[in-house]
Amino acid sequence: MSIQSYDRVQDSSTASEDSPLLTKEVIIISEPRRGSSWFSSVFLVVNAALGAGLLNFPDAYQQAGGVLIAVLIQAILLVFVVCAIMILAYCSDINKSLTYQDVVESVCGKNAQRLCAFTIMTYCFGTCITFLIIIGDQWEEFFLFAAHNWYCTHSPWYMDRVTTICVSSVFLILPLCFPKRIDFLKYASFIGVFGILYVVALVTVKYFLPHPEPGAIAVRPLQWEDVFLVVPTICFSYQCHVSIIPIYSCMENRCLKEFSKTVAVAMFLCVLNYTGTAAFGYLTFGNMITSDILLSYDPDGWVIIAVLLIAIKTYTTYPILLFCGRAALDCLWTDIFKMSPDRIEQTEFKRRVSVTIIWFVLTLALAVFIPNIGVVIQILGAFAAIFIFIFPGMCVVSAVQKRVWQQGHWTARLMVILAGACAFIVLGSFIFGLTLSQSIIKDEHGVKGDKSRYTC
């Protein structure tokens, strides 16, 4: 039953008792639910999960101590990732919630919703910075290939990294950020998905073709805590949880059984793409790998195609993240100042324009001074752990407490579920604290920007 038909049934329940029950049945039949099938939803989940983290995955394998260690950690974390998705879907069915923060509010209350909105806003802000850094990397690689001698000998200002990021972003990103609705970007997302798949194929083929001898390949971490260095990248890469509830709510047959098939196939495809790119990319270059895998290759024509496709994906994805972050900020703003519905509507345009400009300028300024995406992804991975572990765990704890209050006693099953939820929260808090601390320490020691193998 669609949302529209559901609302109409609810309204019809307020009719007089003389109203025939057949009226409700006619309403339900006359408006069948229209949505996506479980199979088409697979591509929505894959599109939400596959992104900038793909470029950083090979470097994460190097930091963690090799392919075997990184794959094992990825397999363990993937169990929690899938469990968190199913927990959120189950909790969303309680009140038919349509967004992540609405799920948190329906189970944990208003204060939890505020915290969730703030976290989403912070996460989207950092992701936008990552996208702008990627744009700078791709333009630099393109100029090295297309105009190598001129670029290296003259270093013209209009080819400078700062100029290319700022100018291209102002003309190609900023105009897409102002509309109230950005659903027109859905068609451009097909190019983005194709670009990601092209990168996966490129890295795989390059490994089997003749290539220079790789650097040292790690088989174990230098220190035991280094195994956690891959965790932020994994969390950042598989973090589709913010988008998962809207996808679930749009399914034609909204039920956990159908959704479990969507999640299983989507995660299989993500694992295949991420692991293949990371393993083949790392084994191709060893410890000479860069935080952006594309910067490790000599920029021939095939690599430049990948560079351009990733740039196009980035230009069309930034406005979506800005939109999500702006919506979260708007939720907090109207809540803090207790704005009435009329006031919210009257000031909507002014808030939207001002927040968009401030958001864009701040992310642009930070992207200019941050050397590479590895620094940002380390921090974002820590925040992604909140969406994957802490909030789902909080939802389960709150749901168990409500069930105990309704039943009036504890059962063994509820105790097991509560223990699992507490494990989610504890593990998420540990990952968040550790990875955030590691990223800060790493940044304090200084991080050099990546350089292309095809340099001046």
DSSP state of 188: T
236-285 pLDDT per residue, tens: 788 888 878 878 887 888 888 889 999 998 899 889 889 999 999 999 99
Give this prediction's pTM: 0.75
- Asked if residue 166 has pLDDT above 50, the reply is yes
What is the chain's alpha carbon radius of gyration, rounded to the nearest angstrom? 24
Amino acid 188: pLDDT: 62
1-45 pLDDT per residue, tens: 333 333 433 343 333 333 333 333 333 333 445 667 788 788 778
Torsion of CA 54, 60, 66, 69, to 10 degrees: -90
Amino acid 204: pLDDT: 92
Contacts of 104 (CB under 8 A, 6+ apart): 112, 113, 116, 391, 394, 395
Half-sphere exposure of 92 (CA within 13 A, CB side): 27
DSSP state of 386: I
Which of the four pLDDT bands, split at 50, 70 and 90, describes residue 210? confident
Which of the four pLDDT bands, split at 50, 70 and 90, describes residue 450? low
Helix %, strand %, coil % for the chain, to 5? Answer: 80, 0, 20
417-426 pLDDT per residue, tens: 999 999 999 9
Domains and CATH numbers, the chain: 36-444 (1.20.1740.10)
- Angle of helix 231-238 relative to helix 53-64, nearest 10 degrees, comes to 160
138-162 pLDDT per residue, tens: 788 788 777 777 777 777 777 788 8
Rounded to whole angstroms, the Cα distance separating 167 from 220 reads 44
Amino acid 345: pLDDT: 83
291-329 pLDDT per residue, tens: 778 888 887 888 888 888 888 878 877 887 888 788 888
Distances (CA, A) of 107 to 92, 193, 396, 445: 9, 34, 8, 42
Closest CA to 208 of 270, 272, 279, 257: 279
Amino acid 393: pLDDT: 92
Rounded to whole angstroms, the Cα distance separating 221 from 417 reads 34
Rounded to whole angstroms, the Cα distance separating 195 from 205 reads 15
For 250-264, b where at least 16 C-beta lie within 10 A, e where not — what string? bbeebeeebbeebbe
Half-sphere exposure of 420 (CA within 13 A, CB side): 16
Amino acid 372: pLDDT: 63
For residue 455, give the H/E element and its range: none
Closest CA to 73 of 63, 83, 85: 63
Torsion of CA 111, 432, 75, 85, to 10 degrees: 10
Amino acid 207: pLDDT: 92
Tokens of 109: 């209350």
Q: What number is the average pLDDT over the span 379-397?
A: 86
Which of the four pLDDT bands, split at 50, 70 and 90, describes residue 456? low
Tokens of 51: 């992104």
Q: For residue 375, what are the β-bridge partners?
A: none
Rounded to whole angstroms, the Cα distance separating 166 from 326 reads 21
